[in-house]
Amino acid sequence: MATDAERAGEAAAVDKQRLDADFTSLYKTHLRDVYSYSYYRVGNHHDAEDLTEQTFLQAYRHFERAQRESKGRPLRPWLIRIAHNLAANYYRDRSRRPQTAIDDADTLVATHTTEALVQDRDDLKRILECVQQLPDDRREALIMRFALGMDNREIARALGRTDGATKVLLHRAIRQLEELVKNAENGSG
Amino acid sequence: MAVGESRVSQSFDIEARLKAALAPIEPPEELSLRMESRLGTLVELAADELEAWELSSLRDPRNWPRAALRPAAAVVVGAGAGAGLVVLRTRRRRHKRRAQAHGALDLAERTLRDVAREALRVFEDAAPRR
């Protein structure tokens, strides 16, 4: 006959197995999202890999609590928020600035889909350079919307803002980018 | 002119251009393999840690009284609550018993019978249903 301690141990083991299975599923579903976000934040594959790895390791440590508190809501905003905080530390600790667009636009073109390959290479590079000139919060909101396909509510949760504030942020980001692109095109034409 | 018009229409299609520029990036294969291996190691470490914690918890004599005291304390608290309930229910019937009793001895007998009956009811209520 099993003792209380044995029964508690078995229950804990079952919980742990379920939690690990859930985490594996989360990891498989969102690896590309976290990697894309990291890449557009830091601008090179080496650091993006590092950031992605750190994000999932940190997520694993706090997964049980996050799952409990999410009450069934998607965990992608939580994951991206971890990557966002780690990226902020990355710049602060190493006094680096993102390299996206200018240095790596050629690499980006090579990694994009066939559909994107038919786009004008200069146009792509110009857009990325202009994204780079945006304030951090606007740039991040655009990455979340266009690279990850997150909706307003998800972006709001990832950035710790209200849905309304996020809608305004995205609108302003797009308007500002439009202006920057127009200026760049007029300047180069 | 045609070039200018094209630029204007391109500007207005900024969202489509953004979508093309910020296309999702597939993580390198090595990263996926490395991550899976690392997560696998973490899972094993966590399982070992859990097992070690359980064993050390049982091996440590300081945990024995706690482990033994919890059920004992539950029994004491439960018994106390049950006894209180028996007294309360028996006291509720005291006027009726006095009215029906023929002398002190009869009253004592009736009181004892009520106590036994209430104790049985409390026991039956507390016993798990099968």
Residue A45: HSE in the Cβ half-sphere, 13 Å Cα cutoff: 14
| Inter-chain CB proximity B22 and A40 less than 8 Å | yes
pTM: 0.63
Please state, in angstroms and rounded to a whole number, the distance separating the CA atoms of residues A115 and A92: 36
Instruction: For residue A68, count other CB atoms closer than 10 A to its CB.
Output: 8
Question: What digits encode the pLDDT tens for the residues B26-46?
Answer: 999 888 888 888 877 776 766
When the pLDDT of each residue in chain A is averaged and rounded to a whole number, the result is 84
Residues above pLDDT 70, as percent of chain A = 80
Whether residue B47 and residue A177 make contact (CB cut-off 8 A), yes or no, is no
Q: How far apart are CA A58 and CA A60, in angstroms?
A: 5
pLDDT number for residue A48: 93
Point out the least confidently predicted range of A36-45, A108-117, B21-30, B77-86. A108-117
- Asked if B67 lies within 8 A of A128 by C-beta distance, the reply is no
Pull the structure tokens for residue A124: 């792509």
**What separation in angstroms does the CA of B3 have from each of A121, A178, A186, B9?**
17, 18, 12, 10
A46, A123 Cβ separation under 8 angstroms: no
User: Tell me, what amino acid is at B56?
Assistant: S
Among residues of chain A, what percentage have pLDDT more than 90?
53
Is A108 or A28 the better-scoring residue by pLDDT?
Answer: A28
The string of pLDDT tens digits covering residues B46-56 is 666 656 655 56
Does residue B127 sit at the A interface (CB-CB below 8 Å)? no
Question: Is residue B81's pLDDT more than 70?
Answer: no
Contact B39 A56 (CB under 8 A): yes
Neighbours of B32 (CB within 10 A): 17
Nearest to A35 by CA among B23, B26, B34: B26
Residue whose entry in the numeric block shows the structure tokens 């990891």: A27
- What is the reported pLDDT for B118? 76
The HSE-up count of residue B49 (CA atoms within 13 Å, CB side) is 7
Average pLDDT over residues A147-173: 96
- For residue range B8-22, what is the model confidence (pLDDT) as tens digits? 455 458 899 999 899
Write down the pLDDT at residue B129: 47
The pair of structure tokens assigned to A47 is 């650091």
Percent of chain B with pLDDT over 70: 47
Q: Which residues of B touch A32 (CB under 8 A)?
A: 24-27
Residues of chain B contacting A123 with CB distance shorter than 8 Å:
10, 17
Percent of chain B with pLDDT over 90: 7
Say whether pLDDT at A173 is over 70: yes
User: For residue B4, what pLDDT is reported?
Assistant: 45
What was the pLDDT predicted at A2?
Answer: 62
Contacts of B17 in chain A (CB under 8 A): 119, 123, 127, 181
Chain A residues with CB under 8 Å of B46 CB are 16, 20
Residues belonging to chain A: 189
Give the per-residue pLDDT at B50: 57
Question: What is the predicted pLDDT for the residue at A150?
Answer: 96
The rounded distance, in Å, linking the Cα atoms of A159 and B84 is: 56
Average model confidence (pLDDT) across chain B: 69
